[in-house]
Amino acid sequence: MSKFLYFLILPIAILVCRARSKTFSSEQSVNLTAVTYWSIKQRSLDDCTPGKVYQLTPENFYDITAKGTFFVKFYEPDCMGCEDFESTWKDLAKSFKSKRSVCFAELNCEDAKVICNEYELRYEPNLIWLENGDEVRQYNGDLTFERVSNFVKEMNKLNASKNSSPERTHPISVSNYLKLFGWLVFVRSVSINFD
Protein backbone atom coordinates (compact mmCIF):
# COMPACT_ATOMS: atom_id res chain seq x y z
CA MET A 1 0.00 0.00 0.00
CA SER A 2 2.83 2.47 0.82
CA LYS A 3 4.48 1.99 -2.60
CA PHE A 4 1.20 2.80 -4.29
CA LEU A 5 0.88 5.96 -2.18
CA TYR A 6 4.44 7.00 -3.06
CA PHE A 7 3.85 6.61 -6.80
CA LEU A 8 0.61 8.53 -6.49
CA ILE A 9 2.11 11.49 -4.57
CA LEU A 10 5.18 11.97 -6.79
CA PRO A 11 3.32 12.71 -10.08
CA ILE A 12 0.90 15.01 -8.27
CA ALA A 13 3.78 16.96 -6.72
CA ILE A 14 5.48 17.31 -10.11
CA LEU A 15 2.28 18.55 -11.74
CA VAL A 16 1.76 21.12 -8.99
CA CYS A 17 5.35 22.38 -9.37
CA ARG A 18 4.98 22.72 -13.15
CA ALA A 19 1.69 24.57 -12.81
CA ARG A 20 3.24 27.03 -10.34
CA SER A 21 6.20 27.51 -12.68
CA LYS A 22 3.94 28.37 -15.64
CA THR A 23 1.93 30.81 -13.55
CA PHE A 24 5.11 32.57 -12.44
CA SER A 25 6.50 32.95 -15.96
CA SER A 26 3.25 34.45 -17.23
CA GLU A 27 3.31 37.04 -14.44
CA GLN A 28 6.83 38.27 -15.29
CA SER A 29 6.17 40.17 -18.52
CA VAL A 30 4.02 43.00 -17.27
CA ASN A 31 5.33 46.55 -17.62
CA LEU A 32 8.89 47.80 -17.88
CA THR A 33 8.38 50.42 -15.24
CA ALA A 34 7.07 47.80 -12.83
CA VAL A 35 9.24 44.82 -13.71
CA THR A 36 12.93 45.50 -14.20
CA TYR A 37 13.78 42.09 -15.61
CA TRP A 38 12.11 42.55 -18.97
CA SER A 39 14.30 43.46 -21.92
CA ILE A 40 13.30 45.93 -24.60
CA LYS A 41 13.35 44.62 -28.14
CA GLN A 42 14.96 46.72 -30.83
CA ARG A 43 12.77 48.10 -33.56
CA SER A 44 13.27 47.30 -37.21
CA LEU A 45 14.93 49.97 -39.35
CA ASP A 46 11.60 50.44 -41.13
CA ASP A 47 10.14 52.12 -38.05
CA CYS A 48 13.05 54.29 -36.98
CA THR A 49 16.27 55.03 -38.80
CA PRO A 50 19.19 55.52 -36.41
CA GLY A 51 20.63 59.02 -36.63
CA LYS A 52 17.38 60.54 -37.90
CA VAL A 53 14.34 61.94 -36.14
CA TYR A 54 11.20 59.87 -36.68
CA GLN A 55 8.05 61.87 -37.40
CA LEU A 56 5.14 60.68 -35.27
CA THR A 57 1.54 61.51 -36.15
CA PRO A 58 -1.73 61.24 -34.21
CA GLU A 59 -2.53 58.18 -36.35
CA ASN A 60 0.67 56.25 -35.65
CA PHE A 61 1.75 57.53 -32.22
CA TYR A 62 0.30 54.75 -30.06
CA ASP A 63 1.15 51.90 -32.46
CA ILE A 64 4.74 53.00 -33.04
CA THR A 65 5.62 53.84 -29.44
CA ALA A 66 3.96 50.69 -28.05
CA LYS A 67 7.13 48.65 -28.57
CA GLY A 68 10.63 49.88 -27.86
CA THR A 69 12.32 52.92 -26.39
CA PHE A 70 11.55 56.40 -27.67
CA PHE A 71 12.81 59.81 -26.72
CA VAL A 72 10.01 62.03 -28.00
CA LYS A 73 10.02 65.76 -28.52
CA PHE A 74 6.53 67.25 -28.26
CA TYR A 75 6.49 70.62 -30.00
CA GLU A 76 4.47 73.27 -31.84
CA PRO A 77 5.79 74.78 -35.06
CA ASP A 78 5.21 78.38 -33.90
CA CYS A 79 7.07 77.92 -30.62
CA MET A 80 10.28 79.99 -30.43
CA GLY A 81 12.03 77.53 -28.10
CA CYS A 82 11.09 74.68 -30.44
CA GLU A 83 12.64 76.43 -33.44
CA ASP A 84 15.83 77.13 -31.48
CA PHE A 85 16.03 73.51 -30.30
CA GLU A 86 15.36 71.92 -33.73
CA SER A 87 19.01 71.71 -34.86
CA THR A 88 20.12 70.48 -31.42
CA TRP A 89 17.48 67.72 -31.56
CA LYS A 90 18.71 66.54 -34.97
CA ASP A 91 22.32 66.65 -33.78
CA LEU A 92 21.39 64.55 -30.74
CA ALA A 93 19.75 61.93 -32.96
CA LYS A 94 22.88 61.81 -35.11
CA SER A 95 25.18 61.55 -32.10
CA PHE A 96 23.28 58.51 -30.77
CA LYS A 97 23.16 56.79 -34.14
CA SER A 98 25.06 53.79 -32.76
CA LYS A 99 22.50 53.34 -29.96
CA ARG A 100 19.97 51.42 -32.00
CA SER A 101 17.88 50.68 -28.92
CA VAL A 102 16.53 54.25 -28.67
CA CYS A 103 14.54 56.12 -31.31
CA PHE A 104 14.52 59.91 -31.42
CA ALA A 105 11.07 61.04 -32.50
CA GLU A 106 8.90 64.12 -32.51
CA LEU A 107 5.19 64.86 -32.44
CA ASN A 108 3.60 68.09 -33.61
CA CYS A 109 1.18 69.07 -30.84
CA GLU A 110 -0.70 71.37 -33.18
CA ASP A 111 -1.85 68.26 -35.06
CA ALA A 112 -2.04 66.00 -32.00
CA LYS A 113 -3.71 68.12 -29.31
CA VAL A 114 -5.45 65.15 -27.67
CA ILE A 115 -2.22 63.18 -27.26
CA CYS A 116 -0.30 66.20 -25.98
CA ASN A 117 -3.10 66.96 -23.48
CA GLU A 118 -2.84 63.39 -22.16
CA TYR A 119 0.76 64.13 -21.15
CA GLU A 120 -0.33 67.41 -19.52
CA LEU A 121 2.33 69.41 -21.35
CA ARG A 122 2.61 72.99 -20.13
CA TYR A 123 5.34 74.35 -22.39
CA GLU A 124 7.19 73.39 -25.53
CA PRO A 125 9.35 71.66 -26.41
CA ASN A 126 8.78 68.78 -24.02
CA LEU A 127 11.09 65.78 -24.08
CA ILE A 128 9.68 62.54 -22.74
CA TRP A 129 11.35 59.13 -22.49
CA LEU A 130 8.87 56.38 -23.40
CA GLU A 131 9.39 52.66 -23.05
CA ASN A 132 6.85 50.28 -24.55
CA GLY A 133 4.21 53.01 -24.64
CA ASP A 134 4.67 54.12 -21.04
CA GLU A 135 6.16 57.40 -19.87
CA VAL A 136 9.29 56.66 -17.88
CA ARG A 137 10.68 60.14 -17.32
CA GLN A 138 10.23 63.67 -18.58
CA TYR A 139 13.36 65.72 -19.20
CA ASN A 140 13.23 68.94 -17.17
CA GLY A 141 16.70 70.39 -17.70
CA ASP A 142 18.33 72.95 -19.96
CA LEU A 143 17.84 72.37 -23.68
CA THR A 144 21.56 72.31 -24.45
CA PHE A 145 23.21 69.53 -26.40
CA GLU A 146 25.39 68.54 -23.44
CA ARG A 147 22.60 68.40 -20.86
CA VAL A 148 20.14 66.47 -23.04
CA SER A 149 22.95 64.16 -24.20
CA ASN A 150 23.82 63.40 -20.57
CA PHE A 151 20.16 62.60 -19.91
CA VAL A 152 20.06 60.15 -22.85
CA LYS A 153 23.29 58.51 -21.66
CA GLU A 154 21.85 58.19 -18.15
CA MET A 155 18.63 56.61 -19.47
CA ASN A 156 20.56 54.25 -21.76
CA LYS A 157 22.78 53.24 -18.86
CA LEU A 158 19.72 52.65 -16.67
CA ASN A 159 18.08 50.63 -19.44
CA ALA A 160 21.24 48.59 -20.02
CA SER A 161 21.48 47.74 -16.33
CA LYS A 162 17.82 46.65 -16.32
CA ASN A 163 18.36 44.45 -19.36
CA SER A 164 21.52 42.86 -17.98
CA SER A 165 20.02 42.10 -14.57
CA PRO A 166 19.93 38.41 -13.89
CA GLU A 167 16.53 36.87 -14.29
CA ARG A 168 14.78 35.95 -11.11
CA THR A 169 14.68 32.26 -10.66
CA HIS A 170 11.50 30.57 -9.71
CA PRO A 171 11.44 28.98 -6.28
CA ILE A 172 10.55 25.65 -7.90
CA SER A 173 13.97 25.07 -9.43
CA VAL A 174 15.94 21.88 -10.04
CA SER A 175 17.36 22.00 -6.52
CA ASN A 176 13.86 22.28 -5.09
CA TYR A 177 12.73 19.34 -7.22
CA LEU A 178 15.60 17.33 -5.73
CA LYS A 179 14.60 18.41 -2.22
CA LEU A 180 11.01 17.37 -2.94
CA PHE A 181 12.20 14.04 -4.28
CA GLY A 182 14.39 13.52 -1.21
CA TRP A 183 11.47 14.36 1.05
CA LEU A 184 9.27 11.85 -0.76
CA VAL A 185 11.96 9.17 -0.43
CA PHE A 186 12.18 9.97 3.27
CA VAL A 187 8.39 9.72 3.66
CA ARG A 188 8.45 6.41 1.82
CA SER A 189 11.19 5.02 4.04
CA VAL A 190 9.36 6.14 7.17
CA SER A 191 6.13 4.59 5.94
CA ILE A 192 7.92 1.29 5.22
CA ASN A 193 9.21 1.24 8.82
CA PHE A 194 5.64 1.62 10.12
CA ASP A 195 4.33 -1.20 7.91
- 125: preceding bond cis by omega (within 30 degrees): yes
Per CATH, the architecture of 54-164 is what? 3-Layer(aba) Sandwich (3.40)
The tens digit of pLDDT for each residue in 97-113 reads 887 789 999 999 999 99
Domain ranges of the chain: 2-33+169-194, 54-164
Closest CA to 72 of 148, 154, 161, 158: 148
Q: Which of 69-73, 160-164, 178-182 has the highest average model confidence (pLDDT)?
A: 69-73
The pLDDT assigned to 63 comes to 93
Share of the chain above pLDDT 70, in %: 61
Average pLDDT, the chain: 75
The tens digit of pLDDT for each residue in 61-71 reads 999 999 999 99
For residue 107, the cross-strand partners are 56, 74
The pLDDT assigned to 26 comes to 41
HSE toward the beta carbon, residue 99, CA cutoff 13 A: 22
The pLDDT assigned to 191 comes to 63
